[in-house]
Chains A and B, each alone.
Chain A
Amino acid sequence: MVETKPRKLRIATTSLAGCFGCHMSFLDIDERLFDLVELVEFDRSPITDIKHCGRCDVGIIEGGVCNAENVHVLREFRVNCKILIAIGACALNGGLPAQRNHLDLRDCLQEVYATEASLSSGGIPNDPELPLPLDKVHPLHEVVKIDYFLPGCPPSGDAIWRFVNDLLAGRTPRLPHELMHYD
C-alpha cells in the first residue's frame, strides 16, 4: 500500500446571531492552532475574510438565526459543507437573542424606533439593504439539518480542540464531564 499524505480538510466558520465569543474561544486552542493548520485549511471565516462559503468538508456556525440574512448564510453553508456543526448556546437554542421570543416583534420595533424618546427620530428602518428580522430567533437545527452540536457559552478551547480532533480522526465527538458545559 502506498502511503499518501491525507488531503487537508477545508473548514468554513461564521457567526450568525452570536457574539463571536465562540470564535474567540476557538483561538483559545492557542499553539494547537499550528497542529490544526497542518490538517485543515480555512474557507470562509473571520480568519480568512473570504466572503462566501465554497465547497467545504466542515462548516462551523455560532449564533442563532434572527434575520433573513442569517437564513441565507446558513443555507449557503448547508449546501457547501459536508458536515455542519452548531457551536455554542445561541446556535443550539437561540441563546441570549432568543430571550426576545416572548415579545411581539411589532411591539419591539414600535418601542425602539417610534415610542422610545431617545431613538424615535428616523422611524422604523426600511432600507432594502437591511435584512428583515424574523418574528422569533431560532436555533440552527430548526432551519437546516445540523450534523453535530457543541454546547457551551462558549465551549472552552479544550472542548473545541477535543471535538474537532475527534471529528478529524473520524470519531463521533464526545465530551468528557469536565468539558461538557451549557454555560
Chain B
Amino acid sequence: MNQAQSFTLDGADVPYRPGQTIIQAALAAGRYIPHLCYHPEFKPHGSCKLCTVKVDGRDMAACTTPAAPGIAVESDTQEINDQRRMLVQMLFVEGNHFCPSCEQSGNCMLQAVAYDLGVMSPRFSHLYPSRPVDASHPEILLDFDRCILCELCIRASAEVDRKSVFALSGRGITKRLIVNAASGRLADTNLAASDKATQVCPVGVILRKGGAFAVPIGKRKYDLKPISARALEDAPRPPGARHG
C-alpha cells in the first residue's frame, strides 16, 4: 500500500510520503535545501523564503509546497543561490548583526547559512534600526537587534508552551517582535526558562543569561560542520534510514 512516490531534486530522485512538503522529503532523503524559518517540529509557514526553489520552472517555497509525483525541483543552481545570497544580505542589513560580539556566533543559523552560501559582504546599505535590549527577565535576555522575524518563538510559545509570550506588531519594515505584557517587558510575562520558546531561536535573540561564550571558538556547532551537513543530521528520518 505504501507505494513509493518520488520527485526529482536537481535531477536526482527523492522519495516522499504523502503529506510531506518538498523540504521535508528532501531533508529526510539527505538532501539539503537552505532555510531559516523552517523547523522540523513546527508547521511550515514560509516567511524567510530562503528555501525558494523552482518547481517545474515556477518559484515556490520548498517548506510550504507539497511534494507531488514527478515534479522537477531545482534548488542548487547559480540563479537560485544568488537569490538566497541576496535574501541573507537583506536580513543582515535589516537588523544589527555584529557577529564578533554575539554570544550566538558559531551557533547561529543565519551566519551558518551565509557561510554555506559564500556570502562575503552585506552588499546593501545598513538600516541600523534602534532595537533596545530587554534584560528584565531573571534568566532570559532578549536582544532584538538580531531578530530575523522567523516567528519560531511565537509558534513554539503558542503551540507547545500554550502561553503566547511572543507576538508580532508593526508592519513592513517596522514589523517587530513583542512580548505579552502591558509593560512590554519580558519579566512581566509568564515565560519560563524551560519553555520551548526559549530553545528555538535560530539566531541570537532569545538567550539564556549566564551561559554566554561557554564553548570556545572552533568547537561551536557550525565550526565543526557546515549547516548543510548539520541540518541533515537534525532532520527527522523514516525509521531504518541511515544518517548521512
Q: Which A residues form the contact surface with B (CB < 8 A)?
A: 86, 89, 92-96, 98-99, 101-102, 136, 138-139, 141-142, 146, 148-151, 153, 174-175, 177, 180-183
Alpha-carbon distance A181/B120, docked complex (angstroms): 10
Once the chains are docked, how many angstroms separate the CA of A99 from the CA of B101? 10
B105: which of A93, A101, A148, A183 is its contact (CB, 8 Å)? A183
Q: How far is the CB of B231 from chain A (nearest CB, A)?
A: 14
The 10 A-B residue pairs whose C-beta atoms are closest, nearest first, are A149-B121, A153-B100, A182-B99, A102-B130, A101-B128, A183-B105, A183-B99, A149-B120, A180-B115, A183-B100
Could you say which of A95, A141, A149, A181 contacts B98, with CB atoms under 8 Å apart? A95
Bound CA span A141–B131, Å: 24
Nearest CB of chain B from residue A152's CB, rounded to whole Å? 9
Task: Point out the residues of chain A lying under 8 angstroms from B111, CB to CB.
Answer: 182
Q: Is the CB of B120 within 8 A of A148?
A: yes
CB-CB under 8 A from A98, the residues of chain B are: 96, 98, 126, 128
Name the distance in Å between A181's Cβ and chain B's nearest Cβ: 8
Contact of B126 with A153 in the complex, beta carbons under 8 Å: no
Q: Which of A86, A93, A153, A177 contacts B115 (CB 8 A)?
A: A177
Give the docked Cα–Cα distance between A138 and B130 (Å). Answer: 15
| B217 contacts partner chain A, Cβ-Cβ < 8 Å | yes
Provide the residues of chain B in CB contact with A153, threshold 8 Å. Answer: 99-100
Contacts of A89 in B (CB 8 A): 98-100
With CB as the reference atom, state the residue of chain A lying closest to B105: A183
Instruction: List A contacts of B123 (CB < 8 A).
Output: 141
* Contact string against A for B residues 81-101, beta-carbon threshold 8 Å, 1 for contact and 0 otherwise: 000000000001000111111
Residue among A138, A148, A181 having the largest count of chain B Cβ atoms under 10 Å? A181
Cα A146 to Cα B115 with chains together (Å) = 20
State in angstroms the CA–CA spacing of A177 and B227 once bound together: 10
Judged by a CB distance under 8 angstroms, whether B29 is at the interface is no
**What's the Cα separation between A123 and B210 when bound, in Å?**
40
**Which A residue's beta carbon lies closest to that of B218?**
A178
Is residue B174 contacting chain A, with contact meaning CB distance below 8 A?
Answer: no
* Most A C-beta atoms less than 10 A away, residue of B106, B126, B129: B126
Known contacts A149-B121, A177-B115: A136-B128 contact under CB 8 Å: yes
13 other A-B residue contacts (CB within 8 Å) besides A136-B128, A180-B118: A89-B100, A93-B92, A93-B122, A96-B100, A102-B128, A138-B126, A141-B123, A150-B120, A177-B226, A181-B115, A182-B111, A183-B99, A183-B217
A182 touches B114 (CB 8 A): yes
**Contact assessment for A92 and B128 in the assembled complex, using a CB-CB cutoff below 8 Å:** no
In the complex, what distance in Å separates the CA atom of A183 from the CA atom of B115?
12
Q: Does B3 contact A (CB under 8 A)?
A: no
**Chain A residues, CB < 8 A from B126:** 93-94, 98, 138-139, 142
B100 touching A86 by the CB < 8 A rule? no
Contact yes or no, B122 A92, CB < 8 A: yes
Q: 0/1 per residue, B202-242, Cβ < 8 Å to A? A: 00000000000000010000000010000000000000000
